[in-house]
């Protein structure tokens, strides 16, 4: 196992291009990695039900979802880090007062606290998924939630950051912010997997492009930023590959010597 590695891939802007399509070169590269005995995993901010088709297409059963809050190893739940519900209730009350809708998310579904809102449609539509949040303002009761979406224009999340210290707020869309448990990250989720599998740092790799990938790319020794990544992400990565639109996964794996 000494020459085998574990490679974590973000989804949006990394595996999937702007049109939410998986480039053929990336698909072939993933299967070549597996053929060579490496462990291939996903590390995403998405909910598990948002990338079931991709997991099936790539035959991947190990993943870090919800930015590290729900981790699965070989098809079995390894680690969870749910939101603090009392604080979430208070945040939801403040959001209602500010006319900012929220969407509650567990490992199976997502529910909005309002029947409909343009911000929800505008941001969720960009994911190009078949499921859309339905209305259930009390979905947070009696269940573990791993992420909540707060919908507000850029900059308006600052008021929540100042008041709700049990959460981290990571913007992923001009009108939407991920609400995560304080200190939760893809890096923390990855830590659970590599600890279980026993891979040394030298044999750990990660590919990403967004702000929610920064801690992952800072923590994983062999980190690769996509060519389409934001500058802050490129600055923290060990390597920078080509854009996802330009066979970035394939070239990145060549760059680090895995292909």
**Residue 145 main-chain phi, psi, to 5 deg:** -110, 140
Collapse the DSSP code of 220 into the 3-class scheme (helix H, G, I; strand E, B; otherwise coil) and give the result. Answer: coil
Residues paired with residue 179 on neighbouring β-strands, in sequence order:
148, 169
CA distances from 249 to 38, 52, 65, 102 (A): 15, 20, 20, 34
Considering the candidates 10, 106, 178, 213, report the single residue annotated as catalytic. 10
Q: What angle do CA 148, 212, 146 make, to 5 degrees?
A: 25
Catalytic annotation present for 178: no
SS3 content of the chain, % helix, strand, coil (to 5): 35, 25, 40
Q: What angle do CA 145, 164, 212 make, to 5 degrees?
A: 65
Tokens of 200: 């040394």
Is 226 in contact with 210 (CB distance < 8 Å)?
no
Residues with catalytic function: 10
């Amino acid at each position: 196992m000494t020459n085998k590695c574990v490679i974590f891939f973000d989804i949006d802007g990394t595996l999937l291009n702007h049109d939410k399509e998986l480039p053929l070169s990336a698909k072939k590269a993933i299967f070549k990695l597996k053929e060579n005995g490496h462990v291939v995993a996903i590390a995403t901010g998405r909910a598990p039900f948002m990338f079931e088709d991709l997991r099936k297409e790539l035959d991947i059963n190990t993943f870090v979802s919800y930015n590290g809050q729900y981790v699965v190893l070989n098809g079995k739940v390894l680690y969870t880090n749910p939101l603090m519900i009392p604080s979430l209730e208070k945040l939801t009350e403040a959001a209602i007062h500010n006319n900012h809708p929220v969407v509650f998310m567990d490992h199976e579904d997502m529910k909005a606290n309002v029947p409909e809102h343009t911000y929800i449609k505008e941001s969720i539509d960009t994911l190009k998924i078949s499921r859309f949040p339905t209305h259930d303002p009390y979905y947070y009761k009696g269940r573990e939630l791993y992420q909540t979406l707060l919908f507000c224009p850029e900059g308006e999340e600052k008021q929540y950051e100042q008041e709700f210290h049990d959460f981290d707020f990571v913007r992923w869309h001009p009108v939407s912010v991920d609400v995560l448990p304080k200190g939760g990250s893809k890096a923390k989720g990855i830590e659970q997997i590599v600890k279980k599998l026993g891979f040394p740092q030298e044999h750990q790799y990660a590919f990403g492009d967004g702000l929610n990938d920064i801690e992952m790319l800072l923590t994983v020794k062999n980190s690769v930023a996509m060519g389409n990544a934001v500058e802050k992400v490129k600055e923290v990565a060990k390597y920078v590959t080509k854009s996802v639109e330009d066979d970035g996964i394939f070239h990145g794996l060549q760059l680090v010597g895995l292909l």
